[in-house]
Every structure is written in structure tokens, then in C-alpha cells.
């Protein structure tokens, strides 16, 4: 497989952009080698600058629920762009998209932004404004975008007062961030016993997808909702990845809707932008109405609710019918079965974990992974070997063992379909490569 064009572009990119990329994981540093510069996508397939074709199991990190360049999305977006790309005024598409989100989820009001980072940042500000409190609780291994206060990483012990996870975040900015182990209700109780009247909110990924897929233990999210309510704090469920992806109404469909609880605030992104920069936060009307222009909590954006981006999101969600989610689930199950079959055959220890239609593989582990420490115990060397063998065979996987895999409605669940037979052909060699590299 020639990579000449990607190599040339990467060399030029490194001259003008840090690391040659605009978002770090894209640079392939975790797995080594040259990132593929993609030139086009159609359905389940990506084509790189050298003309190599790949079955895509990344889906732009989640947004491409319907596959690449879905004809109806492209048509709607083209028509919207022809009517004008930004007005800086309210417009109909953002109302329609907000109505769709309110219809599917427990949120009563929605404010649009342009990225998931902005959504979580704004939700935290609103929670602090509403409660008049400063402390926030997050869980280690959960990613909420590159918000300063949320980059605080895990320490050990039950309650770790935040340590900046990156240079450039002053210690005082994370001093009010309490980082707890994921899936540990006792740690939450200890934190609330100590700081209950100072905690503005708990933010969690509805199901963790940024340390590999680590679903919440049954009742964990319910415990967070209940604990927040008991202490006058707000419960923020970050569904930027899981929203309209894990299931039709997001991960909440799988726990809150069944168990009868609701988050106070939710954040969305990825799928709801349909491949464009659109994201949102929403929630209880009494909390959301504290935002400017009704209330004093300031939040704004030049391109927020952009008509082209919201048209892409709206068209995507309208096409994402219950049948589409059934198809996604069937494809996801089929891909898991193929992968696990090949790895087992080659003798590679692994655990496949799911959150609705999202899934990922943990390498070299024997027990289910329930938290960040467990995720970090995996054998990333085995994945690196597997990743490169799959890439060479024309299957595009996330260039890190700590990421979720995504299928789209354009991936046929049938094993003899073109994408899945490409996968099935690639797997035995890649599984043997993983076995050879396993520690």
C-alpha cells in the first residue's frame, strides 16, 4: 500500500501545524507510522490521498452515524449553504434541531454551541451560576473536551483534589475539581460527606467512551442523580459521544429512561452535528433560563446554531429512525463477534465492552474493565500490532487502544457485505500479529 502522498502531506503539515495535526490523536503517536490523509468518504468507506480504500470503524470519532456523504444529508446541506452560510440571527434550522433534541431527551431547553468542549464548559459555568458553588466532581478517565477545569486527572485514593493534567492550566483553576474513580459510588459518598455544600455539580460521561468503552455499573448514574439532588448539586450527563449514538435517545435511553431519573443538564455534540461543528447543552428549564439574555449567566457564540451545521444535524437525526438503530446494533454485534472470534482463535487475551451500539476491545485483560486504572492495565503493544495489520489490509481503526469503535448505518450487518468481508479477511493476520506482540 503506497503512502507517498500522505507522507508528503504530513511533512508539509508539520512545517505549519504543531505535530502536523489539528487534534493530537490524529497524529498516530500512540501507534507510530504516518497518519493517513483522507481525501474522501462514501458510506462505510474512506479513501486516502494515495487512493487506498479503507473500511472506516472510526466514523470521525462518532458523528458519522449514517456513514460518509449520505446523499440526503449532502443535499440538505448544499441547499442550506446556497441560502447563505451564516446570518448571525436566529433561523429556522436551529429551532427544528432544538425541538428534535427536546423531543428525544429529557432536556426542556437547549442552547447550541459549536463543539463538545464549549458545551461542557458552558454547562459547568451554568451549574456554578445556578448553585452559587465552585467545586465540581469529575471521574478519572472521563474526557469532557479540553476545558481547563476538566483536564484535571486522577490521583489515587478516594478523593483527590485536582492536579492539572497539562501545563498551561494554573493549579488554582483545577483546585475546585474533585477527581474520583469511575463506577465507585462509595467515593462519591465520601466526597459529598466532606464537601456536599460546596459542590456545584457532578459531570460524568453517560457511559465512558474515552478510555475505551466502560459502561456505568447498573445504578451508578442513578446514584449520581440521587446524590446530587440530595445535596442541591446538579447532575450533568455528558452525552457528547453517546448522545443519539449509544441508542436513539442517547445512553439515557438505557438507564435513566428505564430507571426513572433525569440529569439536570446534558451535553451533546458529535452525532447531532452530522459531521459539522454543532454541539449543545440543555436541561431543566429553571436552570437553563438562568442563561443570558433571560438570566445573568453569560454565554454566546458567533457561529452558534449555524444554519448549515444545524441542517446537517437535523437531517441526520431525522434519518436516524428506530430501524437505523436496530441496524447499527446488529452491525456492532456482528463486528464484535468477528473480532472476538479471530482474537480467540489466535489466542489473544481480550475483553470486548459495549455501551449500546458503541464498543471497544481491551487488550491483554481477562476481567471486565470498570475504571481508568483497569483500562490502563491493558496491553497497548498488542493493539499497535493489530492496528497496523488492519490498516495495511484496508480497515481503519482508531489509532489508540483507548478509543471507542463506531459503525454506521452504511455498514451492512451481513457478513458477506463488502465492508464486513474486508474486515473478516483482515482479521486472522492482524490477530496473529497481536498474538506475536502480546506481552
Ligand X SMILES: *Cc1c(COP(=O)(O)O)cnc(C)c1O
Instruction: Provide the annotated active-site residues.
Output: 143, 238, 270
Contacting ligand X within 265-324 (CB under 6 A): 269, 279
Query: What residue number has its CB nearest to ligand X?
Result: 116
Q: Which member of 10, 130, 143, 402 binds ligand X (CB under 6 A)?
A: 143
Q: Which member of 210, 336, 357, 384 binds ligand X (CB under 6 A)?
A: 210
**Segment near ligand X (CB under 6 A); pick from 167-175, 236-244, 298-306, 389-397:** 236-244
Cα dihedral sign for 188, 190, 194, 197? positive
Cβ-based nearer residue to ligand X, 117 or 160: 117
Q: Strand 199-205's sheet: what is its strand order?
A: 109-113, 279-283, 265-268, 234-238, 199-205, 135-139, 177-180, 160-161
Cα dihedral sign for 81, 87, 90, 94? positive
* Residue 127 grid cell: 451549574
Please state, in angstroms and rounded to a whole number, the distance separating the CA atoms of residues 233 and 135.
Answer: 10
Residue 83: CB minimum distance to ligand X, A: 25
Among candidate residues 208, 210, 237, the one with its CA nearest the CA of residue 355: 208
Contacting ligand X within 104-133 (CB under 6 A): 115-117, 120
**Segment near ligand X (CB under 6 A); pick from 86-94, 184-192, 202-210, 387-395:** 202-210
Number of C-beta neighbours around residue 337 at 10 A: 12
Please state, in angstroms and rounded to a whole number, the distance separating the CA atoms of residues 47 and 130.
Answer: 48
Q: Which residue has the cell 437553563?
A: 288
Q: Which member of 100, 176, 205, 264 binds ligand X (CB under 6 A)?
A: 205
Beta-carbon contacts of residue 129 (< 8 Å; ≥ 6 apart): 290, 295, 296, 297
**Segment near ligand X (CB under 6 A); pick from 122-130, 233-241, 373-381, 410-418:** 233-241
Element (H, E) at 267: strand 265-268
- Contact status: 244 vs ligand X (CB under 6 A): no
Contacting ligand X within 387-406 (CB under 6 A): none
Element (H, E) at 200: strand 199-205
Please report how many Cα atoms fall inside a 13 Å half-sphere around the Cα of residue 226, on the Cβ side.
11
- Contact status: 145 vs ligand X (CB under 6 A): yes
Cβ–Cβ under 8 Å, residues 254 and 237 = no
Cβ-based nearer residue to ligand X, 59 or 413: 59
Residue 393: CB minimum distance to ligand X, A: 28
Residue 241: CB minimum distance to ligand X, A: 3
- Contact status: 140 vs ligand X (CB under 6 A): no
Q: Which member of 70, 128, 144, 251 binds ligand X (CB under 6 A)?
A: 144
Q: Which member of 94, 153, 176, 238 binds ligand X (CB under 6 A)?
A: 238
Cβ-based nearer residue to ligand X, 56 or 205: 205
Cβ-based nearer residue to ligand X, 124 or 430: 124
Q: Binding-site residue total for ligand X (CB under 6 A)?
A: 15
Q: Is 152 exposed, middle or buried (0-12, 13-18, 19+ CB in 10 A)?
A: buried
Q: Which residues bind ligand X (CB under 6 A)?
A: 115-117, 120, 143-145, 205, 209-210, 238, 240-241, 269, 279
Amino acid at each position: 500500500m503506497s503512502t507517498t502522498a500522505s507522507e508528503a502531506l504530513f511533512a508539509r503539515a508539520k512545517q505549519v501545524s504543531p505535530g502536523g495535526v489539528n487534534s493530537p490523536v490524529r497524529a498516530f503517536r500512540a501507534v507510530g507510522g504516518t497518519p493517513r490523509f483522507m481525501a474522501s468518504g462514501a458510506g462505510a468507506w474512506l479513501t486516502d490521498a494515495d487512493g487506498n480504500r479503507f473500511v472506516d470503524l472510526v466514523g470521525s470519532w462518532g458523528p458519522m452515524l449514517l456513514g460518509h456523504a449520505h446523499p440526503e444529508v449532502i443535499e440538505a446541506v448544499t441547499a442550506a449553504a446556497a441560502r447563505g452560510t451564516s446570518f448571525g440571527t436566529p433561523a429556522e434550522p436551529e429551532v427544528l434541531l432544538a425541538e428534535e433534541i427536546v423531543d428525544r431527551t429529557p432536556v426542556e431547553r437547549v442552547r447550541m454551541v459549536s463543539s463538545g468542549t464549549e458545551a461542557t464548559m458552558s454547562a459547568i459555568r451554568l451549574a456554578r451560576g445556578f448553585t452559587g458553588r465552585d467545586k465540581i466532581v469529575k471521574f478519572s478517565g472521563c474526557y469532557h473536551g479540553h476545558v481547563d477545569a476538566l483536564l484535571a486527572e486522577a490521583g489515587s485514593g478516594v478523593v483527590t483534589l485536582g492536579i492539572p493534567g497539562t501545563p498551561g492550566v494554573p493549579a488554582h483553576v483545577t483546585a475546585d475539581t474533585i477527581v474520583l474513580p469511575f463506577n465507585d459510588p462509595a467515593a462519591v459518598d465520601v466526597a459529598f460527606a466532606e464537601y456536599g455544600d460546596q459542590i456545584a455539580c457532578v459531570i460524568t460521561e453517560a457511559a465512558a467512551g474515552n478510555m475505551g468503552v466502560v459502561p456505568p455499573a447498573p445504578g451508578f448514574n442513578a446514584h449520581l442523580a440521587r446524590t446530587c439532588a440530595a445535596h442541591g448539586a446538579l447532575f450533568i450527563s455528558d452525552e457528547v459521544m453517546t448522545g443519539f449514538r449509544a441508542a436513539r435517545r442517547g445512553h439515557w435511553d438505557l438507564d435513566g429512561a428505564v430507571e426513572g431519573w433525569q440529569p439536570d443538564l446534558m451535553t451533546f455534540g458529535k452525532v447531532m452535528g452530522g459531521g459539522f461543528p454543532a454541539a449543545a447543552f440543555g436541561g431543566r428549564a429553571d436552570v437553563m433560563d438562568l442563561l443570558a439574555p433571560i438570566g445573568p449567566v453569560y454565554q454566546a457564540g458567533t457561529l452558534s446554531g449555524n444554519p448549515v451545521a444545524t441542517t446537517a444535524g437535523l437531517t441526520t437525526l431525522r434519518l436516524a429512525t428506530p430501524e437505523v438503530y436496530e441496524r447499527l446494533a446488529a452491525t456492532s454485534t456482528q463486528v464484535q463477534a468477528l473480532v472476538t472470534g479471530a482474537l480467540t482463535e489466535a489466542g489473544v487475551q481480550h475483553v470486548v465492552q459495549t455501551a449500546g451500539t458503541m464498543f471497544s476491545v481491551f487488550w491483554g485483560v481477562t476481567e471486565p474493565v470498570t475504571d481508568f486504572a483497569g483500562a490502563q492495565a491493558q496491553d497497548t503493544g498488542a493493539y499497535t500490532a493489530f492496528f497496523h495489520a488492519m490498516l495495511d489490509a484496508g480497515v481503519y481503526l482508531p489509532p489508540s487502544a483507548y478509543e471507542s469503535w463506531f459503525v454506521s448505518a452504511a455498514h451492512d450487518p451481513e457478513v458477506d457485505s463488502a465492508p464486513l468481508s474486508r474486515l473478516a479477511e483482515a482479521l486472522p493476520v492482524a490477530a496473529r500479529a497481536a498474538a506475536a506482540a502480546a506481552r
